[in-house]
Structure 1
Amino acid sequence: MPTAATQLTITVNGETKTFALPMTVEALIQQLGMGGRAVAVEVNRELVPRKAHAATLLKEGDQLEIVTLVGGG
């Protein structure tokens, strides 16, 4: 059974979720089934540039907003 030391509880789009540690923004996007899509990610109200997704480690209690981008006109 995972312990608190191996788990991470964060809020994603208003929903509390628990994941295994370590977790990056990129890994979270993959785990949520959004890999390969154009997404914008905010962590604690700060936009995380796409090029930083792989290097941005999530921490206990982080608040994320993830939106998919849709082209059109």
Structure 2
Amino acid sequence: MKVRVNGNDHQLAESATVAEVLTLLAAPSTGIAVALDGAVVPRASWAETRLREGSVVEVLTAVQGG
């Protein structure tokens, strides 16, 4: 299925989850947040939150600043 991740299209397995997208991106294990179709996905739900054809995933990294 086709999913948009941080503005780029990716072909993923039909059973893909948010956690699998993070593995694909080699995302760090801390300091990130994930939104699926505009809604924040709690970290505890990443492994069980399945994606659908056309899903939009945004992975955001926390940045320190002043």
Give the paired residue count: 66
Superposition CA RMSD, Å: 1.5
Shift of 1:69: 1.7
Task: Give % identity.
Answer: 33
How big is the shift at 1:15?
1.2
1:28 aligns with 2:21: yes
- SS of the residue corresponding to residue 42 of structure 1 reads strand
Q: TM-score, normalised by structure 2?
A: 0.84
Which residue of 59, 65, 69 corresponds with 2:62? 69
Given the two structures, how large is their TM-score scaled by the length of structure 1? 0.77
> Equivalents in 2 of 1:10, 1:44: separation in Å?
11
User: Aligned partners of 2:64, 2:30: CA distance in 1, in Å?
Assistant: 11
RCO higher in structure (CA 8 A, sep ≥6): 2
Q: What does 1:1-73 correspond to in 2, within 5 Å?
A: 8-71=1-64
- What is the CA-CA distance between 1:39 and the residue it aligns to? 1.2
Displacement of 1:20 after TM fit? 2.0
Look up the SS of the partner of 2:16 in the other structure: coil
* Unmatched segments (≥5 aa) in structure 2: none
**What is aligned with 1:5?**
none
Aligned residue for 1:51, secondary structure, equals helix
